Each structure stands twice: as C-alpha cells, then as structure tokens.
A and B are shown apart, each in its own frame.
Chain A
Amino acid sequence: MTLQTFELIWKIVRELIAEVFKISLLSYLLFYLIEDFFPGFVSGFFSMNILLGIVVGSGVFTVVSQKEENQEGEKKEAKNKIRALDIVFIVILSVIAGGLIYFKTKDLGKLGLAISIISGIIILLMSILLLMEDDYDKPSEN
C-alpha cells in the first residue's frame, strides 16, 4: 500500500466517521426528545446507550482527527457570512424550542408562557450572536 492510498483511505474513513457522528448525534437528540414526550416509546425497545456510545466514540474520533488535520495546515476557509436563510432558520428553530419549553411548562400557567417566550428570545439572540461572532473574528485570523 502506497502512502497516497493510505492517505486516501484515511480521508474516506475520517469523512464517514464524521458523518456517523452527525447522524448518531441527530438521532440521539431526536430519540431523546421523543422519549421525553412519550416515555417508553424508544427505551421500551431500544437502548439509547448504544446510540450514546456511537455518538461519543465517533465524536472523539472526529475531534481528534480534525485536530490533526488543522495541525497539518489543511485548513479550509469557512464561509461564515450571515445570510437571510440563516436568520429564517434560526427564527424557526427558536420558535420550535420556545414551543417545546411551553409544552413542558404549561402546567405553570402564565409563568410557563413567559418562560417559554423569554427562552425562545434568548435562543434566537444567542444563535445570531454566535454567527456574528464568527463573522467578526474572521479578519483577525487572516
């Protein structure tokens, strides 16, 4: 096996494991959410710890391999400019998050409604702030 072939295989493995991390993390969060609303729906038939193990394993691998990649100077230029679509996406997610919080706190009455609205706004502002921070930091990296 030549060095080039090895590097190619390594690259593919890294890419696939990063994909596994994304899939397993998303699935874990989705199942966790379902389980929270419908206890036993997932855990009655499937151990979520299996998924958690995959998330942790693939996550650690992805972080470590990404670090190696950075050290080798194979940085890719990120495109972090905020687009209108990003804002729409953030707003939708914030509304969903606020809705979920209201669903879980609705027994508190008006206080539950207030908590969910404030939480939704905080999530919205934090998300925008995070994106803007990336955008702002960029010139100093160069």
Chain B
Amino acid sequence: MIDKVVKIIKVVLWLIPVLLVFWLFDKNFAPRGILSAKCDADKCSKLVAAFATKETDKIIGVTKDGDRYRQINHDPIYFTIKTSRPFAKAKITAEFSNPDNQPVFNFGLQAANGAYVFKNVFSYNSLIEQLEKDWEVIKENDSYLFTRPEEIEKQVLSIKNQEPNNKNEDIKKVDKKPVKKYSSIDEFANNLPPLDEVRAHNYDLSDHIRLKDYKPSDKRLEINNTLRGPHEIITYIENEPLDFKFVFQDINRHKGADNFSIIVSRNGNKVLEKKVEDDGISKASGVVKNPKEADIYLEKPAFGVYAISIQAKDDDIFIKKISTRQSLVVFKDHLYFADDNEYKVLDGVVSRSSDILYSGSIISARTSHKSALQTMTVDKKSLTIKEVNKNYELKRSKTQLGLLPIAVPKSDVYLSTDGFFIFDSRQFFNPDLGAVLNLGADVPENINYVVAQYPKLTDFGDGWLKVEAEFSGKELYRDNKGQYNFILQIPGLPENKRFLKLRKIEVEFAKEPITIFNLWTKVKTKYKL
C-alpha cells in the first residue's frame, strides 16, 4: 500500500516539470492568441522591464481596504515589455487613484522612428462636461453627440423678444428651423447638417463630408489629349463605381525599364494599386511598341474625394487617352501636353493646339524643344516661352476670378499651377469639401451640434479609476530586441505637486490563435517554405 502511494507521489513529482514545459510553451507561443504582462504595486511580470525608472524612491502604500499601491510623483512612466513573438493588438490598462485630480492622461508606444505615438485616454474639458449636463446627448463608447435642446433655443428667443427695438430680428429668429434630432452618431455623420452648425472636439468628420447636390453621370467622359509623364487626377465619387480606363505608350527615350504604378487613394489612404509593366525595352532606343490599356475599377467605393496618381518614373510614359464614368475630374499641380510632331513616332500623335482651364493663382510654363517656343494666351494675356527649359510665369490679378482659360498653340509644353487644371468647366469641383471647425472656449449661438471623442476615466466606485487604450497595426512597433516600449504620460504631475496611487498597469497582447487549420500556413510564412 505504502509502495503504491510512494509511486503515485513520484509520478506526480515527474509531472510537475512536464507541466512546466507545457506552461512555458503556452507562454512563449501564445497558441490561444493572448499574452498578458502586468505590474502591480510591489512587482512586475518577468516580461516587464525598466518600470517607472523616473521614480527615485519606490514608495508603497496601503489603503484602508488593504489595497496596495505605488505612489507616482513623476511624469512620465516608462516601461518595456519583451515578447517572444509579435502581436497584432495591445490593450493597455492602468488602475489608479487620482487624489489630486490630475486632468490629462496619455498612453504612448514608441514607433519605428523612435518617436512615441500617443493616445489621449483622458483630457478634462469643462465645456464638454457642461454640455453633457445642459444639452441632449447621445453617447456611444467614448463618442458623444451633443444637440442643442429646444428649451435653450426658446429661452434665447424669449430674451430677445423682450427688447422692443429688435422686432425684425425677433421675427427672423422665430422662423429659424427646428434643430434636427439624430438617433445615433453614425446617422449624424452620414447625414451631416450644414457644417456651420457643427463643432468637433477630437473627432474627425472629414470622411463624412459630401459634395453638395452631386449626382453621378450616366455618360463617359473622354480626354483624348496626349499627356506625358506622371500625373495626378482628383475626382469625386458618390453612389457610383470608380471607373477609369487609360491608354499608355512608352517612347523609350530614357534608359531603364518603365514599369510604374497607378495608385488610388482616399483621404491619403491607399485604396487600390495597379501595376503597369514595362513594354520590354529598357534601352534608350526610341523604339516604340503598341499602346497598352490599364483599367481601374472599384464597384462600390465609399463616397468622397479620390486621388488617382499615375506614378511614371520619368517622361517616357505617355497617356494617350483617359476614359472615365466620373463626371468631376481635375488635374492637380501640373499638366504636360504632348500632342506635337516631336512625338509623332507614337500612334496618332500630331501637332495640334490645346485649350485648358486652371484654378490656381499662378501659372507657369516651359518646354524642352525649340520647335515648341510659343506665345500662349492666358485669359486674354500673353505668356511667351522664349527659351527652352526655362519657366515663364503669370500671376492672376485681383479682377481675374474663377477658372481662367489658357490657349496653347503648340502642345509640347509643361504647365504647372498651385491649383487644378480642367479640360471643361463642368468637370471642375473644389476637392476641399470644407471642414468642421474645432470646439473653442465656448459654443457660438449658431452651433446646434457638437460631436466629440471624449474618453472618460472608468470609476470602480471605491476610489479607484481605470484608463485604457488600444494600439494595433503600424502603431504597434516591436523593436529588434523583441521589445515594445510603452509610456504613460501624466503632464503637469510633478510641476503641480500632484501624485497618483498606481494599483496596476496591465498590457494584454492579442494575435490570431494557433489552430490546426492555420498552423501549417504559419510555419510556411515563418520559414518562407
């Protein structure tokens, strides 16, 4: 009997290191996709290093309830976390007591360039706090939509009505439309009221601003002018596909392959990239092959302003034709006309004049060939190109308003402006669709809506508060030592002799879990099989 018990104990003892090995595998490979590391008042996980190094003394306190905390007197709190593999997300949480009402907290993570990417997790704003009390509010997570209530509007009007000499103004005010109510922040963002009725606080509405009275066209727009080199086209899209067809031809006058990309972006974010291969001639031979077509198509793009950048490396690439379903098309910064006998080696290119409009305050022109020295007409004024490879400019006068026409007799000229070029005035629009102004020190009377991103401290109710932030994608940079470098910024803490009672800081990393279905894919990716 005793022998059996001893044997069982021995088996249990042998199981301990086996389980320890499994535990270490779990911690290192995080097969469930989650890994957490934390620091409490007394100590940190082994993954955490250099925690709160600015604190010269480690002051530990205990509350009446027995909660242990570390006193923080200095700003910021740095710490690093070393992980055995990269993660896709990191959620950072701090629990603390704020006896001196520290008003601002920012979490940060060091990026590849050494600078910190900050996320404001709390920033006390007295106006927002007041609006929360006085205005109607829709709260969705950390986002708020404040709507001016009817009562306040009526009060303003009734005060005005009491003034006897102000009758006409009163009548105007009474006719004011009632403030539209929204049921959600999404509904508000997708159906914005006039922008002069809106203010924003830490909230970006630029993705939601539409072009007024826009309707898609059912006709294709065709630009048959030959253009040379890189160009950037700006267009507006709403309830229609993005549809561009280009015809390119390579003149092969410069050495090197002329493969290039067409990049479509919205608000600076790349939406689509189309690669166009070289025609196979990399020598500067001047030999020309057949034109190539390239299509850009997106079935249901989000509404907004799109930039289509033809990123040709040099002037070897000629755009022979542009055909599009978009009705609003402007060319940004420059236009290089190339309908000239100089390029007659290309199919169908012959000398001809060109007409264009521009919106900038200045127009500049140059040419590379003597045969294209000429006098252009810019809104009845002359602009003469007397020498090759030299820029000639003309500034817009105060009386010259709107789009100005340019007549180009010889189409071998590079035009540039600080605005846009348009082939037809009906194709013009201002890509700057306007912006919502930021909330100032008070809310003007005409403002009916305030939209805000205003994260608050989570109150546990027992004197302890919580802040959290999430980092993901490019924000989450792991250095070559396998470390993530975090920072909790508490501006003004030492200067105002404030202090914090820090109970816990925890970082929870997350990635895709390892399953039998993705294990082989992960191994192949890791070892490039």
Residues of A within 8 A of B (CB): 8, 12, 15-16, 19-20, 23-24, 26-27, 30, 40-47
The contact string, 1 if C-beta is below 8 Å from chain A, for chain B 19-35, is 01001100110000000
Given A41-B84, A44-B84, are A8 and B10 also a contact pair (CB < 8 Å)?
Answer: no
Looking across the interface, which residue of chain B has its beta carbon closest to that of A16?
B9
Given A44-B27, A44-B28, are A16 and B10 also a contact pair (CB < 8 Å)?
Answer: yes
Q: Nearest-CB distance from B479 to chain A (Å)?
A: 14
Is B2 an interface residue, CB under 8 A from the partner? yes
Is B401 an interface residue, CB under 8 A from the partner? no
CA distance A33 to B444 in the complex (A): 70
Partner of A20, one of B2, B13, B20, B28: B13
Q: Nearest-CB distance from A55 to chain B (Å)?
A: 12
Task: Check A16–B13 contact: CB distance below 8 A.
Answer: yes
Is B498 an interface residue, CB under 8 A from the partner? no
CA distance A78 to B163 in the complex (A): 116
For chains A and B in complex, what number of residue pairs have CB atoms within 8 angstroms? 45
By size class, the interface of chain B is 10 to 19
* Chain B residue contacts of A42, Cβ below 8 A: 24
The contact string, 1 if C-beta is below 8 Å from chain A, for chain B 103-141, is 000000000000000000000000000000000000000
Q: Nearest-CB distance from A56 to chain B (Å)?
A: 17
Residues of B within 8 A of A (CB): 2, 6, 9-10, 13-14, 16-17, 20, 23-24, 27-28, 46-47, 82, 84, 482
Q: Is the interface of B mostly helix, strand, loop or mixed?
A: helix
Q: Is the interface of A mostly helix, strand, loop or mixed?
A: helix
Task: Check A45–B16 contact: CB distance below 8 A.
Answer: no
* Chain A residue contacts of B82, Cβ below 8 A: 40, 44
* Chain B residue contacts of A15, Cβ below 8 A: 6
* Chain B residue contacts of A41, Cβ below 8 A: 24, 28, 84
CA distance A12 to B7 in the complex (A): 11
Task: Check B84–A12 contact: CB distance below 8 A.
Answer: no
Q: Nearest-CB distance from A12 to chain B (Å)?
A: 6
* Chain B residue contacts of A20, Cβ below 8 A: 13
* Chain B residue contacts of A47, Cβ below 8 A: 46
Given A20-B13, A40-B84, are A45 and B46 also a contact pair (CB < 8 Å)?
Answer: yes
Query: Considering residues A15, A26, A30, A45, which has the most beta carbons from chain B within 10 angstroms of its beta carbon?
Result: A45
* Chain A residue contacts of B17, Cβ below 8 A: 23-24, 26-27, 30
Partner of A27, one of B2, B6, B10, B20: B20
Q: Nearest-CB distance from B86 to chain A (Å)?
A: 14
Query: Considering residues A19, A30, A44, which has the most beta carbons from chain B within 10 angstroms of its beta carbon?
Result: A44
Q: Nearest-CB distance from A1 to chain B (Å)?
A: 15
Q: Nearest-CB distance from B35 to chain A (Å)?
A: 10
* Chain A residue contacts of B13, Cβ below 8 A: 16, 19-20, 23
Known contacts A24-B17, A44-B28; 5 further A-B pairs (Cβ under 8 A): A20-B13, A40-B82, A40-B84, A44-B46, A45-B28
Task: Check A23–B46 contact: CB distance below 8 A.
Answer: no
* Chain B residue contacts of A40, Cβ below 8 A: 82, 84, 482
CA distance A12 to B16 in the complex (A): 19
CA distance A16 to B12 in the complex (A): 11
Given A20-B13, A23-B17, A46-B20, are A12 and B2 also a contact pair (CB < 8 Å)?
Answer: yes
Partner of A16, one of B6, B20, B482: B6
Given A16-B9, A16-B10, A19-B10, are A43 and B46 also a contact pair (CB < 8 Å)?
Answer: yes
* Chain A residue contacts of B46, Cβ below 8 A: 43-47
Task: Check A23–B6 contact: CB distance below 8 A.
Answer: no
Query: Considering residues A23, A43, A47, which has the most beta carbons from chain B within 10 angstroms of its beta carbon?
Result: A23
CA distance A24 to B82 in the complex (A): 27
Q: Nearest-CB distance from B323 to chain A (Å)?
A: 58
CA distance A44 to B25 in the complex (A): 12
CA distance A15 to B10 in the complex (A): 9
Given A23-B13, A40-B82, A44-B82, are A12 and B20 also a contact pair (CB < 8 Å)?
Answer: no
CA distance A42 to B14 in the complex (A): 18
* Chain A residue contacts of B24, Cβ below 8 A: 41-42, 45-46
Task: Check A44–B47 contact: CB distance below 8 A.
Answer: yes
Looking across the interface, which residue of chain B has its beta carbon closest to that of A9?
B2
Q: Nearest-CB distance from B355 to chain A (Å)?
A: 69
Looking across the interface, which residue of chain B has its beta carbon closest to that of A26?
B17
* Chain A residue contacts of B10, Cβ below 8 A: 16, 19
CA distance A122 to B11 in the complex (A): 35
Q: Nearest-CB distance from A60 to chain B (Å)?
A: 18
Looking across the interface, which residue of chain A has its beta carbon closest to that of B27?
A45
**3 A-B pairs closest in CB distance:** A27-B17, A45-B27, A19-B10
Given A44-B84, A45-B27, A45-B46, are A23 and B2 also a contact pair (CB < 8 Å)?
Answer: no
